[in-house]
Structure 1
C-alpha cells in the first residue's frame, strides 16, 4: 500500500492557525490538536488516498521557556513558565501525544537571557510615534530562538526516504529550511508536497517540491 507521512512545523502551523481559523479559540489546545489530525485526513482525501495510507503525522515544536528573567524597564522578575502561552504549549503537547498516528518531536527553545525591542515598537520609534523615555516592559520581548527543529525534520525525511517507509511526504511549512532534505527525498523518488496554509512562497521554492496544496480554509 502507498503510504503518506505528514510533517508539521509547529511554530508555523500555530501562527497560521490564528489567521486561518480566526473564529476558533487559539488557546483551546484540544481543538488545535484535533485540527492537526483533521488536516492530515483532508490531505489524504484531496489526494484520493484511503485513511489507512496515513503512515504518521510528525509535529515539531519546542517546550515553553522555563525560566525567570528580569524585566528591562521595571526590573521586576518575570517567570515565563507561568504565562498563559507556556500553559497552552504544555497542554497542546499533551493533547498531541493523545492523537492517533501522531509523533511529537521536541526541539529546544534557547534564550540569551536578554530582551529585545519588539518590531512594532521599533517602527513606532522610527516614525517618531513613540519616544525612548516612553518605553515600558510591554515594548520588549525575550531574545530566544528554536533549535534542532530543522535538524529533526531533515533526519525524519532521510529516515522515511532511505527506509522506504513512505512514497509521499507532505510538509506543512512556510520557509526554505526543509529544501536540502526535500531535494534528497525527491532524488530518491519520493513525492514531496508543500502545504503553506495559503501563505505565499518564493518563486524558486517551487522547483524543490512536486506539488503545492493547502487544504485548510483560505483566509479572507
Structure 2
C-alpha cells in the first residue's frame, strides 16, 4: 500500500472549484472537495500500486471581521457581517466533520486590506468605455493577503517526509511557493505529485515534482468566466 497524504491550498481550490462547478453551499462544497480527493486515492488502472489515504490537509485563512473603507460607497464595510464571512466559517465547520481531514488555518493581513478596481474595470476606464459615474460595487475587489498558509504547507510537507509517515504527497496548488519543501521531500524518497487543476504551471516546475495528476474536467473552448473565491461575494 502506498501511504498518501493530500495537501490542499484552500484558496486555490475554491477559485478553481467555482470556475468548474459554480457556487455551492458550504456543505456541498465540502462534500465535493472530499469526493475530489477520494478520486486521487481510487485505484488507477494505469498503476500497479494501490494507495491508502494517510490524511487530507486543508490550508486556508480565517475570514476577516475588520471594517474596511469602500471608496465607491464612501463608508466602511463590516467584513464580519458579510456573506463571505459566514460562508467561510460554515465551510470550515463542514470540513471538520469530514473523515481524515486536518484543517490548518492561517490569518489574513487585514490591517493591509483595501478595495481596488478589478483589472477589467480599470482597462475600461482607461479606454473610456466606462466612466466613473457608471462604476458599481461589482467593479471593485477586496485585496487582502494570506499569512502563514504557505509556511504551514511547507512545514507539513517536511514533517511527514522526515518522519517517513507517507510514501506519496499529492499537492493541490497552482504556484511555485512549495518548491523548496517539495525538493526536500523528494530527497527523503517521497513521491511528489502536483494537481494544478488544469492551470498552466511554469516549465521549470517539472524538475521539482514527480508527476502531474488531476481530476478536474477539461476546460471548455471559449470559457472566459472570471475566477473568484468559491464563496458568496
Instruction: With the length of structure 1 as denominator, give the TM-score of the two structures.
Output: 0.90
**Alpha-carbon shift at residue 70 of structure 1 (Å):** 2.6
Matches within 5 A, 1:55-74: 55-74=54-73
Q: What is the correspondence of 1:25-44 to structure 2 with a 5 Å cutoff?
A: 26-44=23-41
The alpha carbon displacement at 1:197 in A equals 1.0
Q: CA RMSD in A?
A: 1.8
Shift of 1:157: 0.2
CA separation of 1:73 and 1:19: change in aligned 2, threshold 3 A: closer
CA distance in structure 2 between the partners assigned to 1:132 and 1:169 by the alignment: 49
- SS of the equivalent of 2:181 reads helix
Tell me which residue corresponds to 2:107.
108
In structure 2, how many angstroms separate the alpha carbons of the residues matched to 1:110 and 1:50? 41
CA contact (8 A) 2:61 2:146 kept: yes
Question: Partners of 1:181 and 1:174 in 2: how far apart?
Answer: 15
Q: Match of 2:146?
A: 146
Distance in structure 2 (CA, Å) of the matches to 1:30 and 1:150: 25
Asked whether the equivalents of residues 118 and 141 of structure 2 are also in contact (C-alpha less than 8 Å), the reply is: yes
Going from structure 1 to structure 2, the CA distance change for 1:104 and 1:49 (only over 3 Å counts) comes to farther
Work out whether residues 20 and 218 of structure 1, in 8 Å CA contact, stay in contact via their aligned partners in 2. Answer: no
**Residues paired across the two proteins, number:** 216
Q: Which has the higher contact order (CA 8 A, sep 6+)?
A: 2
Match of 2:228 in 1: none
Whole-angstrom CA distance in 2 between matches of 1:85 and 1:113: 15
Matches within 5 A, 1:70-219: 70-111=69-110, 112-132=112-132, 134-219=134-219
Aligned to 2:158, the other structure's residue is in SS state: helix
Shift of 1:138: 4.3
CA distance in 2, matches of 1:58, 1:39: 13
Return 5+ residue gaps in structure 2 as ranges. 221-233
Aligned-pair CA distance for 1:143: 3.0
**Are the equivalent residues in 2 in contact too, given 1:21–1:217 (CA < 8 A)?**
no
1:183–1:208 contact (8 Å) kept in structure 2: yes
- Per-residue deviation at 1:19? 1.9
1:170-207 CA deviation, whole Å, 9 max, x = no partner?
00001111111101111111000001111121211111
In the alignment, is the contact (CA less than 8 A) between 2:59 and 2:149 conserved in 1? yes
How far apart are the structure 1 equivalents of 2:88 and 2:183?
Answer: 32
